[in-house]
Amino acid sequence: MQIIQPEEASGELIKSMERGGVNPRLQLEILKLAEFHTYPAPGVLIGAFMVDYAMDLLGAKKGQKLYGVCETPKCLPDALQVLAHITIGNNRLKVVPIGKFAITMNPPSEVPTTEAVRVYMDLKKLKAYPTIDIWYANSKEFDKKTMKGKLFDEIFSAGRNILSSEKVRVPVRKKSKWESVTCPCCGETVPDYLIEGDHCGACGSLKYYERI
Ligand SMILES: [Zn+2]
């Protein structure tokens, strides 16, 4: 992972966005997103157009409360977090590791299921952008060293033109009541719905550290 060098990296990025005709508002959001992600990964750049497109389809205003699902843990979660404030921490973001470059977004709802918009990478449309096409396919033909600039230019000139959308129905996530339970193994507390039998996850299947 590389840390973004503001002057150099964002300078190139801005030039590429200008060439592609990206609107100034989205340019600013993309710069914020690249900084948050620590570098302008192609996936987050495309993610910015996905979130922007989905918000337009929903008629959502900036700052409006929205929920989202992201079908890959790579790059896309950051686009939802920075552009739509759908975050892991506010519990409005769900990441499903399906491995597709797609997102679903919806406004809050009081009923058990609600209409959402799903935006996905459209492989047919991608054929018009050969560099994005080989990058997306993880093809050996894509040479990161020599083709990165061309990839950025294609991403910014394509914008939404490589995306498609569909209306879908999703379950509405509800907050449930919970009680605090003390784990007899470690003595720390967890919400009752996360207890595994009689112990906490860290003393069970979610154990990830050894005390030293
Ligand atoms: Zn425990």
Q: Are residues 96 and 75 in the same domain?
A: yes
Residue 194 Cα to ligand 1 midpoint, Å, equals: 11
Phi-psi region of 197 (alpha: psi -120 to 50; beta: other; left: phi over 0): left
The DSSP bridge partners found for residue 167 are: 117
Residue 10: the pLDDT is 80
Shared-domain flag, residues 13 and 62: yes
Q: Which pLDDT tens digit goes with each residue over 51-96?
A: 999 999 999 998 999 999 999 999 999 999 999 999 999 999 999 9
Structure tokens at 129: 């952008």
The reported pLDDT for the residue numbered 1 is 47
* Cα(85)–Cα(69) distance, integer angstroms: 13
Among the listed residues 79, 80, 19, the one whose alpha carbon sits nearest the alpha carbon of residue 45:
79
203, part of any domain: yes
- Close Cβ partners of 6 (under 8 Å, ≥ 6 residues apart): 35
Question: What pLDDT, on a 0 to 100 scale, did the predictor assign at position 9?
Answer: 66
Considering the domain architecture, whether residues 166 and 186 belong to the same structural domain is answered as no
Same domain, 118 and 212: no
Ligand 1 (single-atom ion) residues, CB below 5 Å: 183, 185-186, 200, 203
Q: Are residues 206 and 116 located together in one domain of the fold? A: no
pTM value is 0.91
Type and span of the H or E element at 31: helix 24-37
Residue 95 pLDDT = 97
Q: How far apart are CA 57 and CA 1, in angstroms?
A: 34
111, 185: one domain:
no
Domain containing 192 equals 176-212
152 and 181 part of one domain:
no
Low-confidence spans in the chain with pLDDT less than 50 = 1-4
Same-domain check for residues 35 and 123: yes
Q: How far is ligand 1, taken at its centre, from the CA of residue 38, in Å?
A: 35
- Is the domain of 144 the same as that of 204? no
- CATH code of residue 117: 3.30.1330.130
Could you tell me whether strands 67-70 and 93-95 are parallel, antiparallel, or unpaired per DSSP bridges? parallel
Give distance in angstroms: CA of 177 to centre of ligand 1: 21
What pLDDT, on a 0 to 100 scale, did the predictor assign at position 6?
A: 53
Distance 193 CA to ligand 1 centre (A): 14
Do 183 and 107 sit in the same domain of this protein?
no
Asked if residue 167 is part of any domain, the answer here is: yes
Same domain, 161 and 192: no
Q: Please give the tally of structural domains in the chain.
A: 2
> Residue 89 gets which letter from DSSP?
T
Same domain, 166 and 185: no
Q: What distance in angstroms lies between residue 183's CA and the mean position of ligand 1's atoms?
A: 5
Looking at the domain assignment, is residue 1 inside a domain? no
- How confident is the model at residue 176, as a pLDDT? 84
